[in-house]
Chains A and B, each alone.
Chain A
Amino acid sequence: MKLKNVISTAAAVVALSASGVLASDLTVVSWGGGYTASQQKAYGEPWEAKSGKKIHWENYNGGLGEVRTQVESGNVTWDVVDLLPDQIRTGCDEGLFVELPDDILIPTADGKSMDEDLMVPRPNKCAVPQIWWSYQAFYNDGTFEGEQPDTIMDFFDVEKFPGKRGVHTWANAILEMALFADGVAKEDIYATLETEEGADRAFAKLDTIKDHVVFWSSGAKPLELVSSGEVSMSLAYNGRVGGANLNDGTNFVSIWHGQVLEEEWLGIVTGSKNMEAALDFAAFASSPTAQAEQARWINYGPMRTSALNIISAGEPWFNTGVEVLPHMPNRDEVMGDSIVADPDWWADNGDELQERYAAWMGQ
């Protein structure tokens, strides 16, 4: 009798705690920090209010390892994932994400379909748009006397602008920047990089800063490196730099010249147990208003033209009452000197270049 009691109590506890996990109706996985916060405020909370469902937010560190494990084992606990361009491509090809029906996607107010509204085409039917972000160089105001750096050439010029340089530990963006700084026209960058001589040229350019490099691998690190004076200039995600200026009153200066723009997409994991909610959420989160709303909280650029229009009509748009467009990576004034990353090219040539980059780092 007693044992039975114990067992039934234990069963009840297990059931309760299990239902505690399941109390959320949708699990959304993103990168954490200010970025996730902007997603929560812009469309997470409104969607919860609209649907009466609860979102469980989780953080991850990129890569498809977890998603692949979940799908292959059939134990899918993630529903919606925030994805880098290469991830959405590989993931959709391998069936890790589901293809979305066109009719759920929300058109603009004047009836343009999402695909017409997008500034960059969807890579496949698995993706709904999130944001544009960029790798850019930046420094702390007051670091240099006299002339200030304002091009990517200056980043690679340690004679003119002395001090160490913060660089990330993978090959994306830095190779494009190296070639751009070496005088390759931005349209020719990938064609150049694909040849043996082109890659040699990029790495030769990297060699010029080699003895001055401090490597980072997490997004918060470059800000710390620059503010502590550990490095004089660093590459970073533009939202981190702008976010610190907008929210914390730091005086970082962004170098927009030679920035490398990357896409960010949302995808729904194959076998999601909350498919209906996930579809509804994905559509809601990629609507023009949701995209515009997100720019109130972070300076990543919306991918839909209509969202940019909403923002420029509503400036000052940022939640603190300042203009956000001057901090956007995809505004017209800076697009001329910006490199748009080519994820398809990286999908082909990435393995080889990442290895070469790792070899370069280790030398």
Chain B
Amino acid sequence: MTDTSLQSNNAPMMTADGIPLKKSLQMSLRREKLRAFGLVAGPALFILILFVWPIYTLFLKSIDDNLVNDVLPRTMAIYEQWDGQDLPDEEHYEAMFLDLTTAEKLQIGKVSTRMNYAKSGWKSLIKKSNRKFKKLDPNQPLKAQMIDAEKRWGDIEFWLSLGIMKDRVTAGYYWNAVDRTYDSKKNVIMQPENRQVYVMFWKRTLLVSTIVTIACLILAYPVAYLLATLPLRTSNLLMICVLMPFWTSLLVRIVAWMIMLQQQGVLNDSLVGLGIISDDNRLPLMYNFNGTIIVMTQVLLPFMILPLYSVMRGIPPTYMRAAQNLGATPTRAFIRVYMPQTIPGIGAGVILVFIVAIGYFITPELVGGKDGQMIGNQIAYHLRKSLNWGLASAMGVILLVAILTLYWVYDKIVGIDNMRLG
């Protein structure tokens, strides 16, 4: 009896269908958890696949330099032993010969593209060597044979350039993105002057984004104010005027601007017709810096108007009246009472416009001409044409970091809680 009662005390409590209660509870809890997890799994997966993963791979691409070590293992293994003063010894040539003759053909194609970024000429040197190496005698000293087959093997510059690629992780693409490069000892040096382009593009990108943001703010503020204060019927009509271009295809708007602004365009024709400017002095408003600024401002204007409008709508008109009752002039009341209350809207609009502008690509491509191109155009060029994805990734990462920094600064100064999109 005591035995059995003891037993029953120790034995787990059972549910009606004979499963231990604890287990049953756990199961139902797990089900709850699974269901909850199932609900967030979709969005989480979405964010993971569409944001986290691409940014992670983008970052990896920008620092990855495994290729040369993988494809030319023998050469790179003994590379450090070379003093870099005179042409390397026989064993280096032999390693290079073995690497190039044993590597897979596709790998050689890829590695030669990579090496050509470090020193122009690698691509054809490797390609031509590959053909000629078949005729060489591996049992004879190879140094003389290789130089004989392709005289560039006797050019120390090529051997020195291998030093740039000796590590598997590189910051080289980041240095390239700001017009710097490695010398053979991996010291950071400036690119030759006539190849310094990217700093100029970065500066211009910042300049364009800043000008466009300021222009948008100046134009949008009165419009948003009108929208928020006019009677509903009129303001609705005005709202449609704001939204119409927003809904119109970007390309259509850009082409419309081309027709308006080019030197033989509507605006210039009118000015010449009215005698304001002479036929020889038509204003260059398109295919240059001006074109980029004008068109981007118009394209991005709604991003400024809408947050401003929604914030202004929430400001009770009684505040202004109260201020004036207390003796403030309308201007003073506007500046001291109304404007401070619109700061969350200004903040949201400025950040939105600036962030969209900094990565802009299509408008500068179409209307930017020679001095209206931005960093986005360079990224597109390296992604699609030059296939230097490392450099493109590095520029993308820099852009991303710049935006995050901006966000952080904004948070420190204004406070992100103060931002209101609507």
- Where the two chains meet, the residues of A that have a C-beta atom closer than 8 Å to any C-beta of B are 61-66, 68, 90, 92-95, 169-170, 203, 213-215, 217, 228-230, 344-345, 347-352, 354-356, 358-362
Contacts and interface: CB of A to CB of B under 8 A. Distances in A.
A64 B385 CA distance: 7
A214 B200 CA distance: 20
Given A93-B112, A217-B365, A62 B123 contact: no
B195 A355 contact: yes
Interface in B100-130: 105-106, 108-110, 112-113, 116-117, 120-124, 127
Given A94-B109, A348-B116, A359 B197 contact: yes
Interface stretch (B226-234, B310-318, B367-375): B367-375
Contacts of A348: 116, 120-124
Contact of B263 (A63, A94, A230): A230
Interface string B375-397: 00010000111111000000000
B192 to A, nearest CB: 9
B354 interface: no
A229 B263 CA distance: 8
Contacts of A350: 386
A94 B106 contact: yes
A350 B388 CA distance: 12
A345 B120 CA distance: 10
B124 A344 contact: yes
Interface of B: 105-106, 108-110, 112-113, 116-117, 120-124, 127, 194-197, 200-201, 204, 262-264, 287, 365, 369-371, 373, 378, 383-388
Given A68-B387, A348-B121, A361-B370, A93 B195 contact: no
Contact of B109 (A95, A344, A354): A95
Contacts of B264: 228-230
B130 to A, nearest CB: 10
B371 A352 contact: no
Nearest to A65: B384
Given A93-B112, A95-B109, A215 B195 contact: no
Top 6 nearest A-B pairs (CB, nearest first) are A93-B109, A63-B384, A95-B106, A65-B384, A94-B109, A359-B197
Nearest to B130: A93
B287 A65 contact: no
Given A94-B109, A351-B386, A362 B201 contact: yes
B376 to A, nearest CB: 14
Contacts of B116: 347-348, 351
25 contacts: A63-B387, A65-B383, A65-B385, A93-B106, A93-B109, A93-B127, A95-B109, A169-B370, A203-B194, A214-B287, A215-B369, A228-B262, A229-B264, A230-B263, A344-B124, A344-B127, A348-B116, A348-B121, A348-B123, A351-B116, A351-B386, A359-B200, A362-B201, A362-B204, A362-B370
Most chain A beta-carbon contacts within 10 A, residue among B201, B204, B263, B371? B263
Contacts of A358: 197, 378
A95 B270 CA distance: 56
Main secondary structure of the interface of B (DSSP, over half): helix
A234 to B, nearest CB: 12
A95 B105 contact: yes
B328 to A, nearest CB: 50
Given A344-B124, A349-B121, A355-B195, A90 B200 contact: no
A274 to B, nearest CB: 22
A230 B262 contact: yes
B140 to A, nearest CB: 29
Nearest to B371: A362
A37 B139 CA distance: 57
Contacts of A90: 109, 113, 387
A169 B387 CA distance: 17
B321 to A, nearest CB: 53
Contacts of B106: 93-95
Contact of B195 (A64, A170, A217, A352): A352
Contacts of B373: 169, 361-362
A209 to B, nearest CB: 12
A352 B117 CA distance: 8
Nearest to B368: A215
B106 to A, nearest CB: 4
B262 A215 contact: no
A360 B196 CA distance: 10
A66 B201 CA distance: 25
Q: Max chain A CB contacts within 10 Å: which of B121, B123, B127, B262?
A: B123
A175 to B, nearest CB: 13
A359 B196 contact: yes
Nearest to B388: A351
Nearest to B204: A362
A357 to B, nearest CB: 9
